[in-house]
Chain A
Amino acid sequence: GDSVTQMEGPVTLSEEAFLTINCTYTATGYPSLFWYVQYPGEGLQLLLKATKADDKGSNKGFEATYRKETTSFHLEKGSVQVSDSAVYFCALDTGRRALTFGSGTRLQVQP
């Protein structure tokens, strides 16, 4: 079945550090890929998405590129801020319109 594997957290970085959160997937067909973020005390919200191979999703300085050859969708940001502290979830949709999520990665950014 479909699955998403994320790197385990927590990830602790200093402000302005470079961030990578790895995400790989297993799916039949050609899924759409998403990153969702959950800030403390809030619900999950979409951060970015990509719907086909080689697409790059971007938002709020975060980027992720859909790599079909490596079945990956790694999240990156060049310079993190304290306000980026949250839990990040990688997810996929194979057309069912319900999402399959990874386990989530907690990011803690220290000033």
Chain B
Amino acid sequence: SAVISQKPSRDICQRGTSLTIQCQVDSQVTMMFWYRQQPGQSLTLIATANQGSEATYESGFVIDKFPISRPNLTFSTLTVSNMSPEDSSIYLCSVEKAGLGTGELFFGEGSRLTVL
């Protein structure tokens, strides 16, 4: 398995500010993903975090709004920029563990953001 720590676990933010979420994994992983889960809705993939290069964003998500870093194989950050109430969501870090090859993803417990 993989143990994923996300910080912060929750936060209340003011409109127009930015917040960076950290994701730390206890072992090296091949793929890291960031998902968003809006209230009462499913998980939506924001982007794939690529080590040493720009993240790959899904349709509807852009780098200026959700800049992502992945400096090594065990750590990534997601920033939610210039927040509005519509950004209130749970943000989840997810990883595919190196060498497992099962297609299984491991998830952090999420970061619950409330934007006022």
Contact = CB atoms under 8 A, between A and B. Distances in A.
Contacts of B105: 46, 99
A97 interface: yes
A98 to B, nearest CB: 5
Contacts of B45: 98-100
B103 A103 contact: no
B56 to A, nearest CB: 9
Interface residues of A, number: 22
Q: What range describes how many residues of B lie at the interface? A: 20 to 34
B42 A89 contact: yes
A43 B103 contact: no
A22 interface: no
A45 interface: yes
A100 B59 CA distance: 13
Given A102-B42, A103-B41, A104-B42, A97 B96 contact: yes
A4 to B, nearest CB: 8
